[in-house]
Amino acid sequence: MTERLLADLTLLLHLAFVLFVLLGGALVLWRWRLAWLHLPAVLWGVLVELTGWVCPLTYLEQHWRQQAGLAGYEGGFIEHYLVPLIYPPGLSRGGQVAIGVLVILVNLGLYAWALRRHRPRAATRRAAALAPGPRSGDNGAHD
């Protein structure tokens, strides 16, 4: 029972990671500093798709399924609804490359939007920091 739960949790983690890779740029719109987490995740996701590598989470999930005595993805909500999202049937090499390119394009668009949105704030803060202001002890009255 514990092994099946671990397999299901690994599958959920895998789905969350895939969604973060694809759409995490939207979080960067909200918090610019999340880019430091998101960009390495995108790099990994694109490398996996473009090179045909298998994500280690896949091996971990399969390990727990085998430990639970499961032969495949039969039964259950998670297997029925989430597995096809992460492991589409008949995914070809060309399909993997298309997914990798899609990830790049989606994230380029989100980062362009985030840069446009955050750049004016940063420029305003820099301008305010460089602008001459009242000096210490200056009451603002001048001759």
> Residue 89 has what DSSP assignment?
T
Mean pLDDT along residues 84-91: 76
Question: Is 61 or 38 the better-scoring residue by pLDDT?
Answer: 38
pLDDT at res. 133: 60
| Listed residue (106, 124, 126) closest to 29, CA to CA | 106
Mean pLDDT along residues 9-33: 89
User: Quick check: pTM over 0.85?
Assistant: no
pLDDT at res. 77: 47
User: Is residue 112 a contact partner of residue 26, using CB atoms and an 8 Å limit?
Assistant: no
pLDDT at res. 41: 95
- Is the pLDDT confidence value at 42 over 90? yes
Mean pLDDT along residues 98-124: 83
84-88, Cβ contacts within 8 angstroms, sequence gap of 24 or more: 85/15, 85/18, 86/11, 86/14, 86/15, 86/18, 87/58
Interatomic CA distance for residues 22 and 19, integer angstroms? 5
Mean pLDDT along residues 5-14: 90
| Listed residue (99, 104, 111) closest to 25, CA to CA | 111
